Amino acid sequence: MIVLVVNCGSSSVKYELFDTTTEKSLASGAADRVGVNGGTQAILQHRPASGTAFETQRSMKDHETAMELILEALCHPEHGVISSLNEIQAVGHRVVHGGEKFAASMLIDEYVIAGVEEVAELAPLHNPANLVGIRACMHALPGVSQVAVFDTAFHQTIERRAYLYGLPYEMYEKHGMRRYGFHGTSHRYVSLVAGRLLTEAGVPADEQCIITVHLGNGCSMSAVKGGKSVDTTMGLTPLEGLLMGTRCGDLDPAIVPMLHDKFGMTPAEADAMLNKECGLLGVSGVSSDMRDLLVAAEEGNERAAAAIELFCYRVKKYIGAYSAALGGLHAVVFTAGIGENSSPIRAKCVENMAYLGINIDEDSNNTVTSQPDGVDISRPETSVRVYVIPTDEELLIARDTASLVSGD
Measure the CA–CA gap between 389 and 193, rounded to whole angstroms.
8
Catalytic residue among 19, 109, 151, 363: 151
Residue 337 near ligand ADP by CB under 6 A: yes
Instruction: Kindly tell me which of 281 and 405 has the beta carbon lying closer to ligand ADP.
Output: 281
Residue 341 near ligand ADP by CB under 6 A: yes
Residue 70: what residue type? I
Stretch that binds ligand ADP, among 78-86, 119-127, 134-142, 335-343 (CB under 6 A): 335-343
205 burial class (0-12, 13-18, 19+ CB within 10 angstroms)? exposed
Residue 167: what residue type? L
Q: 270 with 253: CB under 8 angstroms?
A: no
3-state secondary structure of 284: helix
Residue 80 near ligand ADP by CB under 6 A: no
Q: Which residue is nearest to ligand ADP (CB)?
A: 337
Residue 338 near ligand ADP by CB under 6 A: yes
Stretch that binds ligand ADP, among 5-13, 106-114, 330-338, 353-361 (CB under 6 A): 330-338
Measure the CA–CA gap between 215 and 315, rounded to whole angstroms.
9
Residue 289 near ligand ADP by CB under 6 A: yes
Catalytic site residue 151? yes
Measure the CA–CA gap between 366 and 375, rounded to whole angstroms.
12
Q: Could you say which DSSP state residue 9 is in?
A: -
Q: 146 with 404: CB under 8 angstroms?
A: no
Least distance in angstroms from the C-beta of 222 to ligand ADP: 15
Using CB under 6 A, pick the residue from 89, 145, 217, 275 that binds ligand ADP: 217
Residue 336 near ligand ADP by CB under 6 A: yes
Residue 342 near ligand ADP by CB under 6 A: yes
Residue 26 near ligand ADP by CB under 6 A: no
Using CB under 6 A, pick the residue from 218, 235, 374, 390 that binds ligand ADP: 218
Residue from 182, 175, 173 nearest 98 by CA? 182
184 burial class (0-12, 13-18, 19+ CB within 10 angstroms)? buried
Least distance in angstroms from the C-beta of 268 to ligand ADP: 23
Residue 20: what residue type? T
Using CB under 6 A, pick the residue from 207, 291, 370, 383 that binds ligand ADP: 291
Instruction: Kindly tell me which of 92 and 216 has the beta carbon lying closer to ligand ADP.
Output: 216
Measure the CA–CA gap between 287 and 277, rounded to whole angstroms.
10
Q: Which residues contact 402 (CB under 8 A, 6 or more apart)?
A: 1, 3, 20, 90, 408
* Size of residue set near ligand ADP by CB under 6 A: 12
Residue 370 near ligand ADP by CB under 6 A: no
Residue 32 near ligand ADP by CB under 6 A: no
For β-strands 209-215 and 219-225, DSSP reports them as: antiparallel
Residue 45 near ligand ADP by CB under 6 A: no
Indicate which residues carry an active-site annotation: 151
Interface positions with ligand ADP (CB under 6 A): 216-218, 245, 289-291, 336-338, 341-342
